[in-house]
Amino acid sequence: MQKNRNEEDFSIRFAEKEDVSLILSLIKELAEYEALLTDVSATEELLKANLFEKKTAEVIIGEYQGEPVAFALFYSSFSTFLGKPGLYLEDLYVRPDYRGRGFGRKLITYLADLTCEREYERLEWVCLDWNTSAIQFYRKMGAIAMEDWTTYRLHGSALKNLASHF
């Protein structure tokens, strides 16, 4: 499915293999904003393999007057309780000079439409606790915080250590 939506000078498109360097650049900008740049180990080769060859995630790019100004990376999830898939938004980023123009809302609205079109049940994501502007933005759209849930992660040596005991 290749779904483009144009509104005024802002358009949303699915990323293509040729966008890998742009995607990595946007990921690094997001990581810098979140003070997590040192955690980025993604490379163009990894993104190319995982996004476009293995297709483990998808990316949409928001362009204003033909210039890339935003992106969202997402993938399918699954709810065992509902017995249906959902869409999980891993990252959404709008470049600082373009914030406050409704582009983030347009990206999430696009993903909500895509979620419904695919007959998925949920659109979910996490947000850093300190990012109050994002939290307010999400609440205005009707999103609710899952306050009874805590995200856990196995990563790096802890993941490998546990896996080695299988």
Distance of CA 59 to the CA centre of its chain: 7
Residue 55, both tokens? 């297709």
Count of CB atoms situated within 10 Å of the CB of 49: 13
Alpha-carbon span 63 to 97, nearest angstrom: 13
Catalytic residue IDs = 138
**Burial state string for 87-111 with b = 16 or more CB within 10 A and e = fewer than 16:** bbbebbbbbeebeebebbebbbebb
Strand order in the sheet with 123-125: 5-7, 10-14, 58-64, 67-79, 84-94, 123-125
